[in-house]
A and B are shown apart, each in its own frame.
Chain A
Amino acid sequence: MAKFGGADAAFFLIDGYSVLGVVTEIADEQEVVTEDAKPLGSKYPKPTPTGDLLATLSQSGFFDDATDSINDALSGQQGTARVVNYGFEGNTKGKTCVGLSGSYASKYTRVISKGQLHKANASYSIAGVVERPLILHELAAEAGDGNTEGAGSQDGGASSANGGSGFLQVSSVTLSGRPNVTAKVRHSADDVTYADLITFTAVTARTAERKTVASTVNRHLATSWAWGGAGGAPSFTFMIAFHRNA
Chain B
Amino acid sequence: MTYRVLPKTGPDHSIAYPIGAAFARILAAPAGSEERARIREEEAAAGGIKVARAGDVVDDLPQTSVDALLEGGDIERVVDVDPRDESEEL
User: Which residue numbers of A lie inside 8 Å of B, CB to CB?
Assistant: 147, 149-153, 155, 182, 184, 186, 188-199, 215-216, 218-220, 224
Q: How far is the CA of A182 from the CA of B11 in the complex (A)?
A: 13
Give B69-90 interface residues, CB cut-off 8 Å to A.
69, 71-74
Residues of A within 8 A of B9 (CB): 184, 196-199
Whether A216 pairs with B37 at a CB distance below 8 angstroms is no
Chain B window 4-17, contacts with chain A (Cβ cutoff 8 Å), 1 for yes, 0 for no: 00001110111111
Which residue of B31, B38, B74 has the most chain A CB atoms within 10 A of its CB atom? B31
Alpha-carbon separation in the docked complex, A192 to B10 (Å)? 22
Query: Which residues from chain B contact A192 at a C-beta distance below 8 Å?
Result: 17-18, 23, 26-27, 31, 62, 64-65
* Contacting residues, chain B, for A220 (C-beta < 8 A): 31-32
| One of A155, A184, A186, A216 near B32 (C-beta < 8 A) | A155
Complex Cα spacing A42 to B17, Å: 66
Q: Which residue of B13, B15, B38 is within 8 Å of A150 (Cβ)?
A: B38
The residue from A150, A184, A191 contacting B31, defined by CB atoms under 8 A apart = A191
> A189–B68 contact, CB under 8 A?
yes
Given contacts A150-B37, A151-B41, A192-B65, 4 further A-B contacts (CB under 8 A): A152-B37, A190-B65, A193-B65, A220-B31
Q: Which of B27-41 contact A (CB under 8 A)?
A: 27, 31-32, 34, 36-38, 40-41
Q: B73: which A residues are within 8 A, CB to CB?
A: 215
A151, A152, A182, A224, most chain B CB atoms within 10 A: A151
B13 touches A196 (CB 8 A): yes
Across the interface, which residues of A come within 8 angstroms of B34, CB to CB? 151
B36 touches A191 (CB 8 A): yes
A109 to B71, alpha carbons, bound, how many Å?
51
Do A199 and B74 touch (CB < 8 A)? no
Measured between alpha carbons, how far is A121 from B34 in the docked complex, in Å? 43
**Chain B neighbourhood of A219, CB < 8 A:** 32
Closest to B30 in A: A191
Q: How far apart are B66's CB and chain A's nearest CB, in angstroms? A: 9
Q: Which chain A positions have C-beta within 8 A of B57?
A: none
Contacting pair B32 A191 (CB below 8 A): yes
A242, chain B: closest CB distance, angstroms: 14
Q: How far is the CB of A184 from chain B (nearest CB, A)?
A: 8
